[in-house]
Structure formats: structure tokens, C-alpha cells
Chains A and B, each alone.
Chain A
């Protein structure tokens, strides 16, 4: 399983021109506010059409400007978890997790069984009977991840999965994310703004500034020789 993307597009005042790739395991995207991190994720998910470039997930080209390929989001095999988790407020927890199976036309019994198994696998079986609005931030993140995994994506796109959590929940979800991403051996692109989170994920790091990749490599390599002030400050603490 591998993925790569090289995209160029302009949205508002942002000019995104980035090349990223990864294999099994997480790649962390860091960068100042407005550097294009979320836009990069949403572009790979298919929300925007790049002016040029290509996106390949699990060996399948899902976008290629030169060949006129542009698969819609539902055929890209990506699992997107936005900031704020994106749980459907009108559905229960179990129906949220069963949602990808509805799309596949599974019967109700198959959906219930499949989502129950996914929730057990992702350690949130105890949340099955809960309503989405009563969940804590950490619980919402787990359910959102379970739902994304239920779709069996070739690439996970996580936008600031830890940002909205308080310190104890953050520690817990950080450990949870790291162990589950490692266990699922899934390629993932994770937007982050904390060095501790990036280290815990054991991720390769990609630094985005003003829409461009300014540095990439392991945490240790970046910390040892930061290319910009932002990278230096990021790993300082």
C-alpha cells in the first residue's frame, strides 16, 4: 500500500503546490496557519480539482490532470476525518459507523454486525448505544476513526485529530491513534500542530509553508537541522 500526490491549485489567496507520498504508517503535515494543510487533505479527498498534477492511492490513479482522470470522492478510497470529527448529528453512533456500509448496499443485519466488529476493533464497542451529541471529544474522535476505517480506505486523512481535546483526553487519544494506526498498517496523512503528537505517531514529517513543501524527513532529522524558523520553533519545546 502506497500513495502519492503532486498537486497544484489556487484557492482564494492560497497557492498550493505540493508533492507528498507515503507507504504504510502515518505522514504528519505541519505548518503555520493558512499554509494549506487542510486544503491539501481536502484536495486529496476530492473536494477541489487541482489545475495540474496527479493523485495515486494504492497504485490507483484517482486524479491525473494530463490523462483527464478525476474520480469523485466516493471512488477514491480515502477516509477523511475533518477537524471537529464530522460525525452526523442526526444519526446514532452505530448508524454513523454503519454509514459506509449503507453506501455499499449492505443489509441492515450486515451493517449492524459489520459496524459492531469495527467498533470492537477500534476499542469503542462501549459507545455503540450512545447518541452522538453526548460524546466527549475523545469519544467522538474514536467513533469518527472507526467510521472512516469501516469504509476500508486506502489512505486515511486526519485533520488535527488531537487539536480540540483537553490535556488528559489528548494524551489518551494520542496513544490510541498511534497504536491503532500502527496496528492497522494503514497509510495516513495527519495534520498536526504539536511536536509531541508527531513524535508519538512515529510519523515522517512534511512541512508546508505558504502552500509549498519546505522540508520533509524524520522528526530527528528535522529537529537536528530545521530549514525554517517555523520548523525550529516547532521542535524546540
Chain B
């Protein structure tokens, strides 16, 4: 039961550690290289460059919008996937997984073929005077498509861990379907939902390929942080590194929060694995 205690006799041997080390280094070393690449003055110069602030602001706005869309649309979808069964659910599950395996560039082309001038809804959108590609809306759409799977998968897994008996008990105690979802399923699954939302946010923040093809790289309108890094690399490497550091910092903070949140949560609520 005790974790992190003394060394277990059947714990990992030295040979296993040697085999595991290279991949760990492969993951860790570039981050260290990035951290030591620029002096504080370089970093400051990068932050003061005219590209930085608009890109950061656009990234914040678009990712907040896309995560909001993912939460509002993804939560009922996850609940349906977790509580339903049959063919329709299995098809929907596969559909949700698709954006993870499809290359982002392909997602970008697919979005163009849907909302572009000559795309599926092109004629209708043009008639209404609405242009989607190469606008901020396109950035949000691309982020929603690529980040939804991360949230929905995590949320559905969290909902599946909610004991079915608790739901029936809540019903017999007078709650409707809706009340049971809001008062029992949602609060119990909440740590999992928060984790999924954070993952989706990180994916949206890092989104590059689909955005570049579907929304372009227009400063102030569609140039998010990753696209600004791409653009800066052609003119000033220092700015690119500074942007990268800020983005990496945000992501590491997020990862840290993700790791700590469930522990903080259970310390606060006193729930333990016994109830999971």
C-alpha cells in the first residue's frame, strides 16, 4: 500500500534504468537547452518585441474561447459516451479519437474544404457575407477540433468511474436524471474533468499546423504564439527563443498544476482511493 517508502526488493533493477534513461534525456535535455539559450536581457528584448504582446493576447483569447466551447459541447458528449451503449456510442467514440491520429495539417485542409470559399458550406457562408478562413474564428475552430478529443476522453473516463449505484440511489432519493447528473455525477467526476480541460487547453495553446493552413499567419488576427515563433525564427532567433520560453513556461506550470490538483483536491475533500 505504501508508495515512495523504502526500496522494494522486486523494484526496478539498474539495467532497466539504463534502458529507460536515453528516452528520458531525449525528453528533458531540449527543455534545458531552451532554458539556457537566452540571457535575461535577450529574454526581455524578446518580450518587448512588437510580435510578442499581440501573439500572447491572441493566444489567451482564442484558447479561452475554444476551451469554453469544448467544455460546453464536450461535457454532454462525454456523459453520453460514458452512460450509453451500442453501435452509435462506439461510432461516436471513434469519431472523437480521430483528430488525435489525423495530422494537424490534414485537419487544416479538411476545415478549409468545409468552411472555405469553395468548400462544403462555402456558397452559403459567402451568401451570408461570412468569411471563416484566415479569421480569428478560424483559429478557434481549429483549436476546438484538435483539443476536443483530449477533454472528451478524460471526461468520459471520469464519468465511467462514477459508481452506477450512486446514480440509482440519487434517483430513488428524489433527483431527476438532470439533478442526478448535476448533483452526483458531475461533482464526483470533477477532478477528471478539470484534468481533461487542462490537457485540452495545452493542446489548443500549442496548436500550429491546422491553424497555419486554415487561419494563416496574420499578426493580430490569426498569429498565435506558436505561429509567432515560426515567423520570428525567419527574422530574429532571439525573439523566437523568448516566445518559446514563455510558452514552455506556461505549459510546465500547467503540467505542475495538473499533477498537484488531484492531490490538493483529495486533501481538501478527504476523498481517498477507497471511494474511487
Binding site for B on A (CB under 8 A): 42, 45-47, 72-74, 76, 78-84, 86, 88-90, 99-100, 102-104, 131-134, 147-148, 151, 153
Contacts and interface: CB of A to CB of B under 8 A. Distances in A.
Interface stretch (B27-35, B132-140, B181-189, B206-214): B181-189
Contacts of B165: 82-84, 86
A88 B166 contact: yes
Given A133-B270, A133-B274, A151 B168 contact: no
Question: Binding site of A, secondary structure by majority: helix, strand, loop or mixed?
Answer: mixed
Interface in B220-273: 269-272
Given A45-B168, A88-B188, A89-B188, 16 more contacts: A47-B168, A72-B177, A74-B172, A74-B174, A79-B173, A86-B168, A88-B166, A89-B271, A90-B271, A99-B183, A102-B174, A131-B270, A133-B270, A133-B275, A151-B173, A153-B172
Nearest to B166: A86
A87 B183 CA distance: 13
Nearest to A144: B169
A104 B175 CA distance: 9
A153 B169 CA distance: 12
The bracket for how many chain B residues form the interface is: 20 to 34
A86 B275 contact: no
A100 B174 contact: yes
Given A86-B163, A89-B188, A133-B270, A45 B275 contact: no
Contact of B168 (A42, A84, A102, A134): A42
Contacts of A88: 166, 170, 184, 188
B131 to A, nearest CB: 46
Contacts, number: 78
B197 to A, nearest CB: 18
Contacts of B168: 42, 45-47, 73, 80, 82, 86
B171 A73 contact: yes
A73 B166 CA distance: 13
Interface in B142-198: 163, 165-166, 168-177, 179, 183-184, 187-188
Contacts of B269: 89-90
A131 B175 CA distance: 22
Q: Which of B165, B170, B184 has the most CB of A within 10 A?
A: B165
Nearest to B189: A90
Given A74-B176, A89-B271, A89-B275, A82 B169 contact: yes
A217 to B, nearest CB: 29
Contacts of A103: 173-175, 179
A220 to B, nearest CB: 33
A74 B176 CA distance: 6
B270 A134 contact: yes
Contacts of A73: 168, 171-172
Contacts of A84: 163, 165
